[in-house]
Amino acid sequence: MSSGQPIVKFTSVTKAWQRGSGGLQKVSFAAQKGEFLFLTGPSGAGKSTILKLCYMDELPTAGDVRVSGLSALGATRTEISKLRRTLGIVFQDFRLLEDRTAWANVAFALEVTGTHGRAIPARVQKVLERVGLGAKMQSLPNELSGGEQQRVAIARALVNDPFVLLADEPTGNLDDRASRAVFQLLRDINASGTAVMMATHDLDLVRSSGLRSIELNKGALVFDSSEAPLPEREH
């Protein structure tokens, strides 16, 4: 599973904000192809910042972030757009377009990346069925439960066949049952080969899953579970 190039590699990444404190200090880690990786730590620790650096919404102040071979150093805006087509991104607040059906929200991601129109319906249907929303494709977001809305967002993230899914507290707005179900969906997605990086506050979930986790505190990486039980090849 960890053979070959890492899909995400942080090398001594420092992020300083123009205003205010926080940010990251010399964070290094790598995520391998097909891996499931939790990001944990208290509020303000830098979890969201790490995910933003992964999809290059933010760029490092020092150090380098490499995602799928693209270095944040000197990446052009077009390269960043192209990179994002190969990533799936999911947020706590779903970020759906309220005036469009579940179907249209997912199709939107294909349309704006220039997918051929005729290929769209089949792909949208397939991915909505995969997340368990085959029966609610024509519903508007406000006609769906939080869990269902997050499934639409996940479907939208998956429709371009990403190699990694970046999820920022995807269960943060959901009750226990819905959280477990969404988490199970992410594990299924991971089992079929897509890597997942998920920021979360749910430490029980992290511990019981036995998956790799990285803990941050005040912008510094304080614990990487992959380094404790197994010896790491690279830093």
Partner 1 sequence: MRLALREVWTAFRRAPGLGVLSVFTIAFSLFAFGLFGLVAYNTRIALERLEERVEIRAYVTEGTEAEAVAAAVGDIRAFPEVASVTYVSPDDALKKARTEMAEFQDVFEPEFLPASLEVRLRAGMRDPVQVKTVATRLGGYSFVDDVRYGEEWVQKFYTMRRAATVAGIVLGIAFALAAMIIIGSTIRTSVLARSREIGIMRLVGATDGFIRAPFLIDGLLKGFIGGGLAVGLMWMTRTALTVTVFKFEFFPPPVLLAAVLVGAVIGLLGSSLSVGRQLKRV
Indicate whether 20 belongs to the interface with ligand ATP (CB under 6 A). Answer: yes
Phi, psi of 17 (to 5 degrees): -85, 150
Residue found by looking up tokens 């506050």 in the block: 201
Show the binding pattern over residues 26-65: x = contacts Mg ion (CB under 5 A), - = does not: ----------------------x-----------------
Q: For strand 220-224 and strand 212-217, is the pairing parallel, antiparallel, or unpaired? A: antiparallel
Element containing residue 185 per DSSP (H, E): helix 176-191
Alpha-carbon distance of 151 to 120, in angstroms, equals 18
Q: Could you say which residues in the range 39-68 bind partner 1, by CB under 8 A? A: 55
83 binds, among Mg ion, partner 1, ligand ATP, none (CB under 5 to 8 A by kind): partner 1
Asked if 21 contacts 37 with a C-beta cutoff of 8 angstroms, the reply is no
Nearest residue (beta carbon) to ligand ATP: 22
Q: Helix 120-130 and helix 102-111: axis angle, to 10°?
A: 130
Indicate whether 82 belongs to the interface with partner 1 (CB under 8 A). Answer: yes
Indicate whether 165 belongs to the interface with ligand ATP (CB under 6 A). Answer: no
Residue 5 buriedness (CB in 10 A; 0-12 / 13-18 / 19+): exposed
Indicate whether 222 belongs to the interface with partner 1 (CB under 8 A). Answer: no
Asked if 36 contacts 190 with a C-beta cutoff of 8 angstroms, the reply is yes
Indicate whether 60 belongs to the interface with ligand ATP (CB under 6 A). Answer: no
Q: Which residues of this protein are in contact with ligand ATP, per CB under 6 A? A: 17, 19-20, 22-23, 41, 43-49
Give contact residues for Mg ion (rule: CB under 5 A). 48
Point out which residues bind partner 1 (CB under 8 A). 55, 77-78, 81-87, 89, 95, 97, 108-109, 111-114, 117, 156, 160
